[in-house]
Structures are given as structure tokens and as C-alpha cells.
Structure 1
Amino acid sequence: MPPRWPREPDRKDPAYRKLDDRMNFAVHVAIFAAINSGLWFFHNFNSATWEWLPWLTGLWSVVLLGHLIYISAIANYSQTPPTST
């Protein structure tokens, strides 16, 4: 069941931005897990070695770790000031 938001979704709402960033991170983790597990599964059946596969997994893991650090420590979810028009 998808999460429900009790009010009108607005990117200016700090709680909504935080939830949206965490859901994007969860999608990023799911894509990482699906693609890498599939690649390693076929790598185990392949007679030739894929020298690039550990590099891809390692590099993508570093990007994933950077994404986690950003949403947990760097991102500012304080109330955005109103823009003057």
C-alpha cells in the first residue's frame, strides 16, 4: 500500500520534501539491487569473466552511499522562505 499524504502535496513543504527524497532513495536502492543481482547471477553462469562487473558494483555502491549521506546529513529540510514576485 503506498504511503498517503494527508494534505495537498507541495514541494515547498519540508516534511513532503524529506519523504520524497527518502522514497527516491528507496527506488535507487531497489534498482541497484535488481540490476546488480541479475548481473552477478548471469556472471556466475558465464564461462568468461566480466572484469568490469566488480567496478560497476563498487562505483554504484559509492554513488548509493553518497545519496544516503546527502539525504540523511546534508539536505536542508527547513521551511523555505516565500519568494518575492
Structure 2
Amino acid sequence: MPPRWPTKPDRQDPAYRKIDDRMNFAVHVAIAATINSGLWFVHNLKAATWEWLPWVTAGWIGVLLVHLIYISAIANYSQKST
């Protein structure tokens, strides 16, 4: 049985914002892993090399690292004043 949110989902709720940001990060990681592994698979099958591929992978890892730092250290999940 899938987990359920105890209340009606509301972006104003700090706990909901925190879990939503973490789920978005997980989706971002999954997309990056899927695309990068596909690119490296095709790269390994081809006789020619893609010199730009390590830069793409390193850049995407950098973006993921910045995203992780933001959600773990910078994002403010305290109650918003309305």
C-alpha cells in the first residue's frame, strides 16, 4: 500500500515542501542516470569517440550537486508567513 499524506497536500506546509523538493531531486537523479547511461552505452558501442561526453556527464553531476546542496542546506522549510 502506498504511503499517504496525512492532510490535504498544500505547498504552504513546510513538511510537504520538503518532501516535494526531495522527490523532485530523486526524479532529477533518475533522469540524469537514464540519459547518461544511455549515452555512455551508445558511446561504448561506437567505434568513434564522443569527446564531449565526459563534459556532459560532469556538468550534469555538477548540476545535481548544486541541487542537492540547495535542498539540504539552503532551502528554508520554515512556516511561511501569509
Q: Same fold (TM over 0.5)?
A: yes
Structure 2 portions without partners, runs of 5+: none
Q: Deviations over 1:9-52 (max 9, x none)?
A: 00000000000000000000000110000110110011111011
Q: Aligned Cα RMSD in Å?
A: 1.0
Q: Percent identity?
A: 77
Normalising to structure 2: TM-score of the pair?
Answer: 0.96
Structure 1 portions without partners, runs of 5+: none
Compared CA separation, residues 35 and 2, structure 1 to 2 (3 A): farther
Alignment: residue pair count: 82
Give the aligned partner of residue 74 of structure 2: 74
Give the aligned partner of residue 12 of structure 1: 12
Matched, 1:47 2:71: no
Normalising to structure 1: TM-score of the pair?
Answer: 0.92
